[in-house]
């Protein structure tokens, strides 16, 4: 609710401080007195476009400050929280415009963007008038207004939940399909490599073992040749031990004739023969232990070279081939599993789509019923507002599948036909200025409580009407004011008499300047103002009596 409005140096207003209260507040005054300046000033504080022409002549800057009381859990609190502001029970919006056209905005005395000011203003005040192209006239908000009127929050929550689940299932399916597509591009290559590695069957540490074995066998090959040559030498001429034994036997015959002179030689030859026999035996045993087999060496080298070739091909170390085989087999297994996952996700996605369709169908059916009730309510108001030949309707049109969103599958549009047989069309394009304001009023009466703004402003909603129709307008404004703060600029005494609070806007001039001022009217002054509105320039006793009658009827 708007509590206070302070205006400094805006066009013809030098200094103005106004206090507002709940209920219906009427603003009256002569044509050209400056009522539009007052509304323009309020708009400035709510983020409207700034213009250096708003700065009063001779002043350096214009300043407008608006203070609001915030209802509990109002949407403004959430908006401010998102911006890092702590909101309280009241909120102060301020706008400064300098004479060179620069603009600054403040929220609770903290610098803010004009965009944020406009967002806040849209949540605090709904302004309706002949040139209004927002609020009820903006089709973008018609669906949410119909939903608030219908009161089907549970259906809306179900549609939002279903849409979230549908979006999540679509994202999961798309990601799984992308992974599968990428994997399939390499599938033939992967399966070929895995088949090769399965045949090769590399083992961890195998390359090092084979290299060592190959080295040992090459060394054994060379050592075996040496040993064979030595063995050949020892075996030449019957063998070294045989020759030693032959020499021993000849010396034994000679030694028998010499009486023991050769005993030492004979013992030495005997020992040498024994040692030679042992050496030949040890040489044979050593030759037998050397690990050299030409066929085994060939097989070892073939296996070693195959491992190293595979490692070069796959740009890994030979010892990593076994791990590579496991990794690639895992990718193939994931590919096979991915196909199953995509199938499962397609099923889940189809189920989510079915749930979304069901939730949206239930919401659409409820909207259609609510639209019929809204149409009946608005059309019932039109006759009293001198719009009896007009018709109002709420169109609920299905959206294409790709346009479905968290709020369902419908486009909602308010339309009117102003004469019998005339085609329906958007409210803002079909209705004239005065009709437009009364259509809005009828809508607001039926939609009472459906909007989020706690303050409603109507600019000359009674233009071009009088008598019983003006009284009907005043009655509906008064009814609206039981649920919201309502400010109305009016030229109708019937409407003015309905106000709980009354401001008179007047323009005063002297030789030096012209100023616009606003006066809060007490009961006696209200009577005089309403009488002026009835009678014109000269207030007659009859006009005062008529004003008294209007005020009594409005109580």
Q: Is residue 548 part of a domain?
A: no
Chain-centre distance for alpha carbon 230: 89
Condensed to tens digits (0 to 9), the pLDDT of residues 264-276 reads 888 888 888 888 8
**pLDDT mean over 351-367:** 96
Q: Is residue 248 part of a domain?
A: yes
Q: Is residue 105 part of a domain?
A: no
Chain-centre distance for alpha carbon 186: 34
Q: Is residue 241 part of a domain?
A: yes
Closest listed residue to residue 359, CA positions, set 413, 412, 409, 411: 409
Q: How far apart are CA 459 and CA 476, in angstroms?
A: 15
Chain-centre distance for alpha carbon 96: 34
* 491 token code pair: 């030229």
Q: What pLDDT does 292 receive?
A: 63
Condensed to tens digits (0 to 9), the pLDDT of residues 292-332 reads 677 888 888 888 898 889 889 989 898 888 888 888 888 78
Pairwise pLDDT comparison (153 vs 467), residue with the higher score? 153
Q: What pLDDT does 427 receive?
A: 76
Q: What is the DSSP secondary structure assignment for residue 56, as one 8-state letter?
A: P
Above 80 in pLDDT, residue 61? yes
Q: How far apart are CA 68 and CA 455, in angstroms?
A: 10
Q: Is residue 481 part of a domain?
A: no
**pLDDT mean over 24-34:** 84
Q: What pLDDT does 146 receive?
A: 93
Which stretch of DSSP H or E encloses residue 129? strand 125-129
| E strand spans, 431-520 | 455-459, 485-489, 501-509, 514-520
Q: Is residue 91 part of a domain?
A: no
Above 90 in pLDDT, residue 447? no
Q: What is the DSSP secondary structure assignment for residue 55, as one 8-state letter?
A: B
**Domain of residue 224, residue span:** 155-361
**pLDDT mean over 403-420:** 92
Identify the band that residue 133 occupies on the pLDDT scale cut at 50, 70 and 90: very low
Which stretch of DSSP H or E encloses residue 525? helix 523-535
Condensed to tens digits (0 to 9), the pLDDT of residues 462-516 reads 777 778 888 888 888 998 888 889 999 988 999 999 999 999 998 887 767 788 8
Question: Which residues contact residue 540 at a Cβ distance below 8 angstroms, ignoring those fewer than 6 apart?
Answer: 531
Q: Is residue 203 part of a domain?
A: yes
How many CB atoms lie under 10 A from the CB of residue 54?
Answer: 24
Q: What pLDDT does 437 receive?
A: 75
Q: How, if at all, do strands 501-509 and 13-19 pair? A: unpaired
Total tally of structural domains belonging to the chain: 1
Q: Is residue 426 part of a domain?
A: no
Is residue 44 within 8 Å of 118, Cβ to Cβ?
Answer: no
């Amino acid at each position: 609710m708007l509590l206070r409005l302070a205006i400094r140096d805006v066009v013809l207003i030098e200094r103005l401080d106004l206090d507002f209260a709940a209920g219906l507040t009427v603003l009256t005054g002569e044509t050209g007195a400056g009522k539009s300046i007052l509304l323009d000033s309020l708009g400035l504080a709510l983020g409207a476009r700034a213009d250096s022409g708003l700065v009063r002549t001779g002043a350096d800057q214009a300043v407008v400050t608006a203070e609001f009381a915030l209802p509990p859990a109002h949407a403004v609190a959430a908006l401010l929280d998102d911006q890092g502001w702590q909101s309280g029970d009241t909120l102060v919006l301020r706008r400064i415009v300098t004479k060179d056209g620069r603009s600054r905005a403040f929220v609770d005395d903290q610098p803010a963007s004009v965009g944020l000011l406009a967002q806040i203003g849209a949540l605090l005040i709904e302004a309706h008038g002949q040139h209004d192209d927002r609020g009820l006239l903006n089709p973008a908000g018609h669906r949410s207004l119909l939903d608030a009127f219908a009161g089907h929050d549970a259906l809306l929550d179900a549609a939002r939940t279903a849409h979230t689940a549908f979006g999540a299932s679509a994202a999961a399916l798309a990601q799984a399909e992308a992974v599968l597509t990428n994997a399939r591009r390499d599938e033939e290559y992967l399966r070929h490599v895995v088949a090769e590695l399965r045949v090769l069957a590399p083992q961890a540490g195998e390359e090092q073992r084979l290299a060592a074995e190959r080295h040992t066998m090459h060394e054994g090959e060379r050592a075996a040749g040496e040993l064979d040559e030595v063995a050949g030498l020892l075996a030449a001429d019957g063998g070294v031990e045989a020759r030693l034994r032959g020499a021993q036997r000849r010396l034994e015959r000679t030694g028998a004739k010499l009486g023991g002179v050769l005993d030492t030689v004979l013992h030495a030859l005997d020992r040498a023969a024994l040692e030679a026999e042992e050496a030949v035996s040890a040489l044979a045993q050593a030759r037998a232990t050397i690990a050299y087999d030409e066929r085994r060496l060939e097989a070892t080298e073939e296996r070693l070279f195959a491992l190293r070739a595979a490692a070069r091909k796959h740009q890994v170390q030979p010892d990593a081939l076994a791990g590579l085989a496991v990794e690639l087999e895992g990718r193939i297994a994931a590919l096979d599993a991915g196909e199953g996952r995509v199938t499962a996700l397609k099923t889940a996605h189809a189920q989510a789509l079915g749930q979304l369709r069901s939730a949206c169908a239930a919401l659409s059916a409820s909207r259609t019923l609510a639209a019929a009730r809204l149409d009946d309510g608005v059309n019932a108001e039109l006759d009293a507002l001198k719009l009896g030949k007009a018709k109002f309707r709420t169109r609920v049109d299905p959206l294409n599948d790709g346009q479905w969103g968290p709020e369902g599958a419908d486009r909602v549009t308010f339309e009117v036909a102003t004469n019998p047989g005339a085609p329906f069309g958007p409210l803002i394009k079909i209705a004239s200025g005065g009709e437009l304001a009364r259509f809005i009023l009828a809508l607001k009466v039926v939609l009472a409580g459906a909007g989020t703004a706690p303050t409603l402003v109507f600019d000359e909603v009674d233009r071009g009407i009088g008598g019983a129709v003006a009284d009907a307008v005043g009655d509906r404004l008064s009814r609206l004011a039981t649920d919201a703060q309502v400010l109305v600029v009016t030229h109708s005494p019937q409407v003015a008499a309905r106000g709980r609070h009354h401001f008179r806007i007047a323009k005063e001039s002297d030789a030096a300047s012209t100023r616009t001022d606003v006066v809060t009217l007490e009961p006696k002054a209200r009577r005089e103002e309403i009488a002026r509105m009835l009678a014109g320039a000269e207030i007659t006793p009859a006009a005062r009596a008529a004003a008294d009658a209007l005020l009594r009827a409005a109580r």
